[in-house]
Amino acid sequence: MKSHYSDAPAAQRIARHTLAVIVDNEPGVLARIAGLFSGRGYNIESLTVSETEHEEHLSRITIVTSGDDAAIAQIMAQLDRLVPVHRVDDLTASGEAVERELALVKVAGRGEHRVEALRLAQAFGARTLDATLNSFIFEFTGAIDEVDRFIRVMAETGVVDVARTGVAALPRGSSKG
């Protein structure tokens, strides 16, 4: 006998999406967008904002969030309905995008820990921005998973503090995103 549950649709896959939102650069826009996410129970994993077109007073908000296809479509539709929003692009759905994040990692230590921190930072291609007798500050730029890996590896050498910028992303090729 066939179960009724076998005809049920398969659970949608939860995936990470990077959204590029072009908005008017005016007070309260970011609060409205954050309110949209929190009011509907969506999480913002990464958020970057910067004015990109000074003459037109436009800013680009890059948001990394996770959800199934229906949730992402709903987020995009709701963002698109906000008055100060000019355009919403799902950079993940539109194909390969170039995504980068910058991390500043402060490591404290002496002796062997200090030597190991320098060796690992060099292996990852990180830049040394500050060095004292007791600590270093390294700058590392890469894809999210590379930044995560760098921080995990450096944790073994005595990480004191970490600051991350959030994701900056653009679509590959000639398309605007």
Summarize pLDDT for 22-46 with one digit per residue, the tens.
999 999 999 999 999 999 999 999 9
Pick the CATH number of 97-171 from 3.60.10.10, 3.30.70.1150, 3.40.50.150, 3.40.1160.10: 3.30.70.1150
Report the alpha-carbon distance of residue 30 to residue 28 in Å, rounded. 6
Report the alpha-carbon distance of residue 37 to residue 28 in Å, rounded. 15
- Does residue 166 surpass a pLDDT of 90? yes
Q: Do domains 13-90 and 97-171 have the same CATH topology?
A: yes
* DSSP bridge partners of 53: 58
- Does residue 93 surpass a pLDDT of 50? yes
Q: What pLDDT is stored for residue 177 in this prediction?
A: 65
- Does residue 124 surpass a pLDDT of 60? yes
How confident is the model over 52-69, as pLDDT tens digits?
Answer: 999 999 999 999 999 999
pLDDT band (50, 70, 90) for residue 10: low
Domain boundaries, the chain: 13-90, 97-171
Q: What pLDDT is stored for residue 8 in this prediction?
A: 43
Nearest CA-CA partner of 81 in 33, 13, 126: 33
**CATH class, 13-90 region:** alpha beta
> Is-contact 151 159, C-beta < 8 A?
yes
| Count of Cβ atoms closer than 10 Å to residue 177 Cβ | 20
**85-90 vs 15-24, strand pairing mode:** antiparallel
Report the alpha-carbon distance of residue 125 to residue 121 in Å, rounded. 6
- Does residue 109 surpass a pLDDT of 60? yes
- Does residue 75 surpass a pLDDT of 90? yes
DSSP code at position 4: G
HSE toward the beta carbon, residue 15, CA cutoff 13 A: 15
Report the alpha-carbon distance of residue 140 to residue 150 in Å, rounded. 8
The predicted model gives 67-84 an average pLDDT of 94
